[in-house]
Amino acid sequence: MDRIKCDTHTHTLYSRHAYSTIEENVRAAAERGLELLATTDHYSQMLYPDVHIRHYQYLFNQTALPRHWHGVTVLRGCEADIIDGEGHLFGHGIPVEENIVGMRYENVQDLDRFIASKLDYMIASIHGTSHTEGMPAAQGTKMYINALAQEKVLILGHIGRSSVKFELDPVLLEAKARNKLIELNEHSFDMGSGDTVRRCRQIACRCGELGVLVSLGTDAHVSCDVGRFGKVAAMLEEIHFPKELIASRTRESFLEVIRKSGVSELEGL
């Protein structure tokens, strides 16, 4: 397989259980010949015991990041938790009434929309599973389809290890219809069981059969893992996955998908 030129899922110190700065990740991307790096820290209840806009300024101030850094295009994103069976994302129903210095907003909006409006794209993932316990497959399908309908969601993250029951084809076809992406996640091969690996393989095979675009993300939590797709790339070779369905194979192919999806206009790129 040709070398993958984009890493679409990475974490920094902000995620609290990751260990590198954004510049360390960008430098690692440059050293490995990547053309594009997306920084996608967790946006989730796992970060703070309380919810206040001040906690999330790292995410909405990403306009401070250069678009081109050490020769790498940098995209501004987050990995948002899906928090209920309706596919809502973290921050839904939480009003942002004041800014970080306590001045009141005239127009109040929910935290999820406030954060989304500042980003290039979001990955929607399952981490906490209390809301999925006992959920029938039909509801799990609806949850993922509704998450894909969120305006700034581009990627469904690591669905192969979520343990959620859902009907695969309707979710994949919804992603295809919206020109959005199913993630094949390198980290899932490191932390998952044999069942997880088999599920990831099944998802990849079905994406190939249905012509569904995928993104490859390392889910790196330390800079030395950025751009390393050894296990997922080997799997794709084994199943003869069509390389034209890998949206993240080059900078241009990934940016084109973002624009076609309507998730972001990507001004300046």
pLDDT mean values, one per 10 residues, the chain (269 residues): 91 97 98 98 94 94 96 98 96 93 92 95 92 90 97 96 92 98 94 84 98 98 97 96 97 97 89
Angle, to 10 degrees, between the axis of helix 230-238 and the axis of helix 194-210? Answer: 50
CA 147/CA 22 separation, integer angstroms: 27
CATH architecture classification, 6-260: Alpha-Beta Barrel (3.20)
> Do residues 20 and 222 touch, judged by C-beta distance below 8 A?
yes
CA 57/CA 263 separation, integer angstroms: 21
For the segment 231-269, what is each residue's pLDDT rounded down to a tens digit? Answer: 999 999 999 999 999 999 999 999 999 999 999 999 778
> Do residues 65 and 39 touch, judged by C-beta distance below 8 A?
yes
> Do residues 76 and 63 touch, judged by C-beta distance below 8 A?
yes
Per-residue pLDDT, 129: 77
3-state secondary structure of 147: helix
Per-residue pLDDT, 194: 85
Per-residue pLDDT, 251: 98
For the segment 40-50, what is each residue's pLDDT rounded down to a tens digit? Answer: 999 999 999 99
The whole model's pTM is what? 0.96
Per-residue pLDDT, 192: 61
Amino acid at 98: E
